[in-house]
Structure 1
């Protein structure tokens, strides 16, 4: 196996581990709540505790990857993710599970940016679109395998096994990384932005806590409005600090590249919608539709199957025609799919109420994901691929974090038929906005043969664009 192939396989396995967790958790939420109690609030926190630390620290992880070496950071992340996965599996109460999930998210923050940065650093720019398309297609197989395994474990054994299954791919990744050796730290590495990391955690933590708990306590309760105010203040302070920090965790200069700025804004709306829709549907199918966990997992598989089958093809197509059209049309197609699910009623008839919408959702996701990732990372100098990938991942995770935290505002106390319909409409609106942002903001890069300087020598602001 040559180095490029090995790097791609490792990047796929590493991202697979992080994505597998996201794939299985939604299927297991009703069983977790039935075992540990806590209602909708615990279900939200079981997802958002992970996304909170992941989204808050993924920027820091990107800087660490660029400074201390991608392989080194990957190894730390894999070991930490394995330990915290076991902690989730043996949790004895809701609070213990939430804490373990938060620690798992911190470890997960080290994985995805470094895996994508490895691809960007290893493959030439002319091959990056196809490599990222293959990475996207194969890593999304986690969403194919996850619901099946998760549902089977919940129905036949215990929800605890959905966390324990992380251990095997972690071991595979560590073994495969051994021949790559160790990378040397960057001698020009900057100081770690611990202040920025702390402000990010407090800012996101306060606002997310308020969004989740307002459904139970109300906005006027001190335990809601005080964290909300502190969170907003910390987020403002975070932006101000990053503007003046000597070594910012979030280099705001990255956003001078048009595709990077517009792509991340589109990512916010698109991934907020992805997270909201895929959080609500499995819970609704189990708690209202009466589906067993395994069938609920199977019911949400069509989008993943289509993404796995078509993701690489659309990634290659995006490399030829540019990402703008696909990033515009893809989210709008997904929106149409969610609007089709407005046919859902009780009793739930899967074949004509759910499946048609899921097929359309899958087509739109396949059109969107690889071109979106390629457009954003293609706007970043390869030497900053780690932080560029981290920013985009942070945006997508934080968007999901906020949208899931907001579900109580959308549906109230219960995710009934009317509540799901409201979720579907909000999801569609977010996706349409993401498509419009892509059309207005994204510009197709110039063909590679028109770029005079090699990618390694061009800055994010110097690459010609059509």
Structure 2
């Protein structure tokens, strides 16, 4: 590195791009896996003779593992070095993927998904740390645009790849596809990443770990149980959420005492980091929660196959692909507070269409709206992350990226659970069909349940008027849920209004040699 951040070259050189390639490979594995598995849930129900609530734990178990291991990433990166830790994370993720493909029961699959999550949880924060250290603060915007590539491939390729693999081969290949990518990633990382130079000067915060990791896991367990129970008053929901919240609050109070806490909340004294992180947190709750319902609408209301639902989601990723490189370049030149509000306005504009969905809404309109939302996404997520990490020194980047990733994970889980509960509560209000019961449970079958089943080829003799009423009810339920998401998207404009609109003074830019010694956080 040069003596000052300002002296760094404007363009990303070959050495930095080579390192970025390693990180992008790992991020593609992690992000694709989430979207691929989400479209495989109905297949898991059939294969393992399980309920939706049971197979949903293949996603929840992975999320809980992520929440448990992410807080350790910052300390472990400083203690053991980013290269060896990143390779360990790749190995765990790949091994977990192969084990998932061998699962003979839903319980085994959930257990192996937890192992997979232990590796996946470290990939993103470590990847952000590696890339930010390699590029320096002046080029972080363009580098974050590179890291955004897998975030585009996730919504575009995940549902398409998952649907194709399930239809053309079997569900096992949803996981086995990670084996060749993981092997290539490990070999690539061994040769491309710079040799580790860890400085094990910090003691491990065992007290903090005993509060934060179980606290996050318990809180997210309670949140993730909401769709299954349908009410926050259920014991497994409110008790675990309360205990988890108390442990997390206890950690927050405690974390300002030790010199080297597990999660360095002192970084929030940095106003730019604090505002950017809060903006990202609210955005993730709003968009990621409702975003998972877009393919569900195509599957349940329109009766599309998993492959076709994935293809219909592609315009969103294409839109983001257009604006993300532009936004990355602008983020290095223009304060994000001047560009992100316009990108969020595009998201809100496209999102509004989904509050009006019915049983026969034009696909041209829906795909056009997804494209507009994609344009907004490309100009929102990575610029906000860039703003969050830009003013941190090399030494602080590992802990800063850990903070960002934890809040992203919590926000995504809260958003997903909230939207699922709202949709489920609406669907439960459907009228039962007289004389028709579920053979497995003996419970009456509602018009909505029958309509969804009929869309997927179930052999049910339904009068046309009952089928139409059921489909209309399901479509209205989705529209009502999307209204909640739309209001949350509008709420995101509040923290975004506080994003920086002026460039940081030169005195606040971290210098290249600040990575060697812990540096106080600059007060803004």
Normalization by structure 2: what TM-score?
Answer: 0.81
Q: What does the per-residue CA deviation read over 1:171-223, in whole Å, with 9 as the maximum and x for residues that have no partner?
A: 11111122246634523432233443343333233333333434544444433
Deviation at 1:453, TM superposition (A): 6.7
Q: What does the per-residue CA deviation read over 1:305-324, in whole Å, with 9 as the maximum and x for residues that have no partner?
A: 22223211111012211111
Give the Cα–Cα distance (whole angstroms) in 1 for the partners of residues 520 and 487 of structure 2: 31
Q: Does 1:338 align with 2:351?
A: yes
Is the CA contact 1:66–1:384 (under 8 Å) kept in the aligned structure 2? Answer: no
Provide the alpha-carbon RMSD of the alignment.
2.5
Structure 1 residues 344 and 453, CA, compared in 2 at 3 Å: closer, same or farther? closer
Task: Give the match for residue 430 of structure 1.
Answer: 488
Task: Give the match for residue 458 of structure 2.
Answer: none
Normalization by structure 1: what TM-score?
Answer: 0.91
Task: Give the match for residue 47 of structure 1.
Answer: 59
Structure 1 residues 165 and 414, CA, compared in 2 at 3 Å: closer, same or farther? farther
2:67 aligned counterpart, secondary structure: helix
Give the Cα–Cα distance (whole angstroms) in 2 for the partners of residues 380 and 181 of structure 1: 22
Q: Does 1:362 align with 2:374?
A: yes
Structure-to-structure mapping, 1:60-99, within 5 angstroms = 60-99=72-111
Structure 1 residues 169 and 287, CA, compared in 2 at 3 Å: closer, same or farther? same
Deviation at 1:411, TM superposition (A): 1.6
Deviation at 1:383, TM superposition (A): 1.6
Is the CA contact 1:334–1:428 (under 8 Å) kept in the aligned structure 2? Answer: no
Deviation at 1:103, TM superposition (A): 2.1
Q: Does 1:244 align with 2:257?
A: yes
Q: Does 1:231 align with 2:244?
A: yes
Q: What does the per-residue CA deviation read over 1:360-398, in whole Å, with 9 as the maximum and x for residues that have no partner?
A: 210110110221111011022122211211211111111
Deviation at 1:326, TM superposition (A): 2.4
Q: Does 1:134 align with 2:194?
A: no
Task: Give the match for residue 284 of structure 2.
Answer: 271
Deviation at 1:84, TM superposition (A): 0.8
Structure 1 residues 27 and 414, CA, compared in 2 at 3 Å: closer, same or farther? farther
Give the Cα–Cα distance (whole angstroms) in 2 for the partners of residues 304 and 453 of structure 1: 34
Structure 1 residues 194 and 279, CA, compared in 2 at 3 Å: closer, same or farther? farther
2:292 aligned counterpart, secondary structure: helix
Mark the structure with the bigger radius of gyration.
Answer: 2
Structure with bigger helix share is 1
Q: Does 1:305 align with 2:318?
A: yes
Is the CA contact 1:128–1:374 (under 8 Å) kept in the aligned structure 2? Answer: yes
2:122 aligned counterpart, secondary structure: coil
Question: Which of 107, 112, 135 in structure 2 is aligned with 1:123?
Answer: 135
Task: Give the match for residue 272 of structure 2.
Answer: 259
Give the Cα–Cα distance (whole angstroms) in 1 for the partners of residues 310 and 105 of structure 2: 25
Is the CA contact 1:52–1:398 (under 8 Å) kept in the aligned structure 2? Answer: no
Q: What does the per-residue CA deviation read over 1:27-55, in whole Å, with 9 as the maximum and x for residues that have no partner?
A: 22232233335444235433222122213
Is the CA contact 2:222–2:241 (under 8 Å) kept in the aligned structure 1? Answer: yes
Give the Cα–Cα distance (whole angstroms) in 2 for the partners of residues 35 and 337 of structure 1: 37
1:110 aligned counterpart, secondary structure: helix
Q: What does the per-residue CA deviation read over 1:254-288, in whole Å, with 9 as the maximum and x for residues that have no partner?
A: 10111111111111111122321222122232133
Give the Cα–Cα distance (whole angstroms) in 2 for the partners of residues 181 and 446 of structure 1: 31
Count residues with an aligned counterpart.
462
Give the Cα–Cα distance (whole angstroms) in 1 for the partners of residues 207 and 509 of structure 2: 40
Is the CA contact 1:30–1:283 (under 8 Å) kept in the aligned structure 2? Answer: no
- When structure 1 is superposed on structure 2, of 7-16 and 140-149 the one drifting more is 140-149
